[in-house]
Amino acid sequence: MKRIFKIIFVLSLFFILTGCPGPEVPPQEQEEAKPKNVIVLIADGMGTGHMEVARLFEYGREGKLFMETLPYVALARTYSASHNVTDSGAAGTALANAAKTNNGMIGVGPDGEELVSILDIFKEQGKTVGVVSTNTVTDATPAAYVAKTEHRGNQAEIARQIYEGEYHIALGGGERFFLPEEQDGEDLLVAFEEKGYQIPKTRDELMNIEATADTRILGLFHHSFMNYTGDREILESKEPSLLEMSEKAIEVASQNEEGFFLMLEGARVDHAAHAADFGGIWREMIEFDKAVEYAVNWAEENGDTLVIVKSDHETMGIAASEVMDVESFKEIGVSPEYMAQQLEIDEETNNYTAESIRRVFSEYANIDLDDEEIEEFQDNVWDGNDPEGRLVFEHIVGWEIGSVIAYYYDGGVMHRRTRARSDSTGGHTANTVPVLAYGVGAENFDGVLDNIEIPKMITDIFGFEYEVQGN
């Protein structure tokens, strides 16, 4: 018996020293597989609270969002160079240029130095590149991929940079920034057309475009932001949905045998959250989740694709509270912005009439305000900083309406006064945001990341040279 033990001992020592015999790994499989395409989906302003609200509203306690089925999950910090709490300009710059910058800046560092966008890296590699957003295509998140400016408000300048950069696909709102009034008399749409771009203005025009390797599209479906999902029916909108824009963008981009990089943004999750509009958060999140599902299913069928779902920052500290009145929120069919447009101004007081405030809350939100609540609302929409005593901007009136409704039905949300004091963000928070990944290279997205690491991680997976900038 002693001898047998000795043989086993010698044999095990042999295997430990030489490695266990196993199937030989062919050399080409030892290298890590690289993807060909990348689809980045960004829900602007999405935190885990927005996910939870959407999940509870749509599927109930035991249901799941599609994005919750993705295999890899990380969290990302989002602070900017200038603030603990980022705006979408600095956040977009971090995600598209791997660099921290000041709030309000796009594609440049804090001192104005121009950064290199990940989209340009992919374009140089011969890939088709593009941005899709329910915002204007020239606003912060898409802009950070395609433009460089110290002031995110320069949307006409950003439109010009999309033209000069010759990005293959840009779909969203913001037509007015391309027109002569904003472009020193030049019609930028004509210039795009001369470069061979197709310029669809409606859903049908977009969906009828034939996808070839040479197809270039500038789709502008609204003069400003595209309409909220919930308002499209009442406004008889002819816009495509985020899902339809995503389908067409992927169809066109995938004609390129070299591959593609697309950024698809559900921008109005952020806008609904600013307005404390829980029904809007629900509808915009579900619309976004459908685009995620489409992208992941496409990647599953085609292989070779990395899909990353993420957010640029959290907006309004949205939380699913214990007493949140889900059914009452769901019954509200339109956005607070639409409700604001239904208010009437009293010419004598220059404020909204008590009668119209009462009617709008009752008709659209099933809330009966008393006289005191109506007076408080009138105070809140009065611009205290304006010596002439005027109303705040209409979209802020929408925010005030949303906050009244959110408090009434117990949605968990930042106080309106904190939002009003948040000068550079209008109610964003520094909460970490989710990063979810699927496909080739997805396993790299793990742990707590800083937002500027993400583009660098993507280029590393592709083996492209790229540095975290300005640090």
Compute how many residues bind Zn ion; rule: CB under 5 A. 1
- The residue range among 213-221, 224-232, 266-274, 336-344 that interacts with Zn ion, by the rule CB under 5 A, is 266-274
Cβ-based nearer residue to Zn ion, 245 or 273: 273
CB burial of residue 266 (10 Å; 0-12, 13-18, 19+): buried
- Cα–Cα distance measured from residue 133 to residue 43, given in angstroms and rounded to the nearest whole number: 10
Three-state secondary structure call for residue 323? coil
Nearest residue by C-beta to Zn ion? 270
Render 187-249 in DSSP notation, one character per residue. -HHHHHHHTTEE---SHHHHHTPPP-TT-EEEEE--SSSPPPGGGTTTTT--PPPHHHHHHHH
Cβ-based nearer residue to Zn ion, 239 or 270: 270
Q: How far is the CB of 105 from Zn ion (least distance, A)?
A: 15
Q: How far is the CB of 136 from Zn ion (least distance, A)?
A: 14
Cβ-based nearer residue to Zn ion, 89 or 455: 89
Q: Are 34 and 440 in contact (CB under 8 A)?
A: yes
Cβ-based nearer residue to Zn ion, 336 or 441: 336
Cβ-based nearer residue to Zn ion, 403 or 444: 403
Cβ-based nearer residue to Zn ion, 139 or 182: 139
Q: Is 22 left (phi over 0), alpha (psi -120 to 50) or beta?
A: beta
* Binding letters toward Zn ion, positions 218-257, x by CB under 5 A: ----------------------------------------
Q: How far is the CB of 92 from Zn ion (least distance, A)?
A: 11
324 Cβ contact list (under 8 Å, min separation 6): 53, 56, 278, 409, 410, 411, 412
- The residue range among 124-132, 248-256, 262-270, 366-374 that interacts with Zn ion, by the rule CB under 5 A, is 262-270
Render 265-291 in DSSP notation, one character per residue. EETHHHHHHHTT-HHHHHHHHHHHHHH
Q: How far is the CB of 152 from Zn ion (least distance, A)?
A: 11
Q: How far is the CB of 311 from Zn ion (least distance, A)?
A: 11
- The residue range among 201-209, 263-271, 350-358, 389-397 that interacts with Zn ion, by the rule CB under 5 A, is 263-271
Q: How far is the CB of 80 from Zn ion (least distance, A)?
A: 13
Q: How far is the CB of 276 from Zn ion (least distance, A)?
A: 13
Helices 394-408 and 354-365 cross at an angle (nearest 10°) of 60
The distance between the two most distant Cα atoms of the chain, rounded to a whole number of Å, is 108
Q: How far is the CB of 317 from Zn ion (least distance, A)?
A: 13
Q: How far is the CB of 428 from Zn ion (least distance, A)?
A: 6
Place of tokens 């999750």: 269
Cβ-based nearer residue to Zn ion, 270 or 284: 270
Three-state secondary structure call for residue 385? coil
Q: How far is the CB of 94 from Zn ion (least distance, A)?
A: 15
- The residue range among 255-263, 270-278, 342-350, 378-386 that interacts with Zn ion, by the rule CB under 5 A, is 270-278
Q: How far is the CB of 87 from Zn ion (least distance, A)?
A: 7
Positions 310 through 329 that interact with Zn ion (CB under 5 A): none
Place of tokens 């990353």: 308
Q: Are 309 and 41 in contact (CB under 8 A)?
A: yes
Cβ-based nearer residue to Zn ion, 270 or 453: 270
> Own/partner pairs for 347-354, CB < 8 Å, 24+ apart?
350/389, 350/390, 350/391, 351/378, 351/381, 351/382, 351/391, 352/377, 352/378, 352/381, 352/391, 352/397, 354/378
Cβ-based nearer residue to Zn ion, 157 or 270: 270
Q: Are 300 and 312 in contact (CB under 8 A)?
A: no
Tell me the two tokens of residue 465.
């040279």
Cβ-based nearer residue to Zn ion, 102 or 305: 102
Q: Which of 265, 270, 284, 314 binds Zn ion (CB under 5 A)?
A: 270
DSSP 23: P
Tell me the two tokens of residue 427.
């109610």
Q: How far is the CB of 320 from Zn ion (least distance, A)?
A: 20
Cβ-based nearer residue to Zn ion, 270 or 400: 270
Cβ-based nearer residue to Zn ion, 139 or 270: 270
Provide the binding-site residues for Zn ion, judged by CB under 5 A. Answer: 270
